[in-house]
Structure 1
């Protein structure tokens, strides 16, 4: 696409129009700091509940398996069923986000999270567990991408590092808070009590969000669809009408190296995350001989390590970007490095005997990849216009989270068919490390936001 003429308003890296202060030019929306951070706080709570819902099955794995008499493979199948509709729903809702407000989308998701906890409370059985996990996965599939999309509507491009980190930190906070709390509920009141508490929490959040949530001014279309943007574009000047960035075909947006590299980085990180949610609590109890409270403490420590990374690295990224460092080196390379380092720690787990060294490696393997999740949204948004952002985020999230469909079941299968349980975990860790290393290399090579933004005409 040709460079904009001097008469056209300049475009920011995400394809939005920057106010130039001239007569007739659209001014950049004012930054409403108070409401923006209120929305950020609600979204952090949203993500905290999201990850508590995801982790409850893993935290209750041992008592559920004992009570229902299910095998490792069956438990792995139940855990993987969460991902059956996860990616598909993320994809579909991503495309719908251009026409449905973030307020409605997030409210609907939270209500469904509450409903998804009900089947196993009515009948404690494998089919009920599967039904609840499938519904929960369908309702949580769009959660990360759509909450990030909602957040981006309230923050301009040069202020998104910290809020993005806080959004993703909801995951670490979810484990940091949920692991001891849910474990306390399970040991003190039975595993069903955790499902009840999470259902009530989701319902309460949805009511508060319906009251305070609304779309912000940085979505390109605010609450409307493309029609509103086209009307605004006509008043902004005919020079953008020939090939407005917001009208770029999805094929061009999805098949450039930066978006593909972001997906692959998320795939590698999600492989470790899915393994952690499904099997880390059981591994700590059965292989390391920890009591429920000790296992919860280790999981909280891993989450705390993730939280430190999430709150420090993206803020550093914003600083580097404001000082003129390229997006490739400030947001792209760290993704590949994080997944690669986590993979090396994962590969080392079967060969380390000392308890202290083992726990350090667990923290790096299952927590060191955390920074990928805010950064992969930032790199993708750098080459995607705002009106296409929700849909592209949905595709990125859908493809990047596919490991949830494979990793838990495959691990359960390895555990059942290996010579010993320890051999099964060793095989699972080595396979995970291999997948993650490939993803790390691909991300390092392909993520180049400035180059791809120029090629697409949005830079």
Structure 2
């Protein structure tokens, strides 16, 4: 096992990332934008697609859930393989598969082809968030990861914000198939650029010994089981689970809900989806940066990173519980923005707290497990919601039941995350010899690090 990362010396300022690091960051942000546009397209095309194919909401929910059939498993497998395969090659293979996965529905527009394409797409996107974050951390040292992490996750919100109106325009004016064609072309274009930009960075990688030189002894480190079962990693998984529950619900059903229950046009619904993504993006760019400032002032990682991610899921769940009973108009839109926008804060922060207690050499594998566990709601939430709506006396009653169930799960996840995430405590337990990732820099020790 690779030894845990050594803590920086007191007053040490991590080196500034080189220009290549920022180019890689830009490509990874675009990578995440494409990933979430791929997720959003089915929801945006849902109403005309269901009408053309003559399918009900339960069947549509099944198609949407099929995206996650291999999502978590592939994230887990690729996470454990990340130490032997370069991040550059992994991301290229994923994006190439994204382009291919859009083709089945273009060849034969039917439920089986839709499911086949979504299963392949989900398999290729399962490792996307964790492995692109792992690739990013190879370019940015500890102490300079807050803003890059937020921008990487922010690429997801930006992807939905930008793609929703564009894809809706294509769907309305050129048919829903045109949106799938556009995403195929965008993924292929990214694949053409990435080999010239993407490289593995210098941080957190084991170096091969020079031929003839003796291999240095490996320091003992905590076993993988201990890394996965400590409170900080478990709490991070819970916050991600609650956040992805809301994300799966909104990706599959928010555009449909806006059109069928709030009488919006497809264009109006896409504007609301885009607005929610803008709220998420604003929070993703502001909260992690503020968290970094708090930690540089000496605030504990529990208070700076742990509690906010649990609160984000808890507050979003509260807004979702109120949504079915809102009077309408601006109040409903505000609750939608909070319910489906605020939870996103948990996504970059749960990676930050996990990385705090996990050695660099184990980070890819642990990130894979965290991503596989946290994204499980996507496997059943879309279908469950469709089943509840189809089985209720009215659609409105079905949506109310689905929203209240989701709110309850999110509240439990948020509260448990708040209670269990203790990065400093768990770092000491896992690395009693003191080889843990450092506690927050004390105020006055060094000047604030510019991101």
- Give TM-score, length-normalised by structure 1: 0.91
- Aligned mate of 1:367, from 341, 344, 347: 341
Q: Which residue of 1 aligns with 2:444?
A: none
Aligned pairs (5 A) from 1:51-450: 51-221=36-206, 234=216, 241-243=218-220, 245=221, 248-450=222-424
- Give the aligned length: 429
What are structure 2's unaligned runs of at least 5 residues?
437-451
Gaps in structure 1 of 5+ consecutive residues: 1-10, 22-26
Deviation at 1:317, TM superposition (A): 1.1
The range that moved more, 349-358 or 337-346, is 349-358
Q: Provide the residue aligned with 2:6 in structure 1.
A: 17
- Which secondary structure state, in structure 1, belongs to the residue aligned with residue 143 of structure 2? helix
Structure 2 counterpart SS, 1:370: helix
Aligned counterparts of 2:57 and 2:275: Cα–Cα separation in 1: 26
Q: Residue in 2 aligned with 1:4?
A: none
1:8 aligns with none
Q: Deviations along 1:310-347, whole A, 9 cap, x unmatched?
A: 00000011111111111100000001110000000000
Greater than 2 Å deviation, 4+ residue runs: 17-21, 27-33, 219-222
| Kept after mapping to 2: 8 A contact 1:55/1:277 | yes
Give the CA RMSD over aligned residues.
1.9
Cα deviations by residue, 1:84-112 (Å, 9 ceiling, x for unpaired):
00000000000000110000000000000
- d(CA) in 1 for partners of 2:360, 2:408: 35
Distance in structure 2 (CA, Å) of the matches to 1:28 and 1:316:
18
Deviations along 1:404-443, one digit per CA (max 9) or x if unpaired, are 0111000000010000000000000000000001101110
1:306 positional shift: 0.5
**Aligned equivalents of 1:397 and 1:172: distance in 2?**
18
| Equivalent pair of 1:158/1:322 in contact (CA under 8 Å) | no
The 2-side partners of 1:325 and 1:122 are apart by: 56
CA distance in 2, matches of 1:113, 1:219: 28
Give the Cα–Cα distance (whole angstroms) in 1 for the partners of residues 13 and 134 of structure 2. 19
Shift of 1:233: 7.3
Return the alpha-carbon distance in structure 1 between the equivalents of residues 93 and 341 of structure 2: 30
Deviation of 1:206 after TM superposition, in Å, equals 1.2
Contact 1:18 1:28 in 2 (8 A): no
Query: CA 1:330–1:29 in structure 2 vs 1: closer, same or farther (change >3 Å)?
Result: closer
Task: Using the TM superposition, give the Cα deviation of residue 19 of structure 1 relative to its aligned residue in structure 2, in angstroms.
Answer: 7.1
3-state SS of 1:408 partner = helix
Cα displacement string for residues 190-212 of structure 1 (whole angstroms, at most 9, x for unaligned residues): 10000011011001101211111
CA drift at 1:353: 1.6
Match of 1:34 in 2: 19
1:220 is displaced (CA, Å) by: 2.6
Structure 1 residues 154 and 74: alpha-carbon distance in aligned structure 2, compared to 1, 3 A threshold? same
CA distance in 2, matches of 1:444, 1:399: 18
2:14–2:143 Cα contact (<8 Å) kept: no
Q: Answer yes or no: is the 8 Å Cα contact 2:15–2:141 preserved in 1.
A: no
CA–CA separation in structure 2 for the residues paired with 1:392 and 1:130: 29
CA contact (8 A) 1:175 1:299 kept: yes
Question: Contact 1:88–1:398 (CA<8 Å) still a contact in 2?
Answer: yes
CA contact (8 A) 2:58 2:383 kept: yes
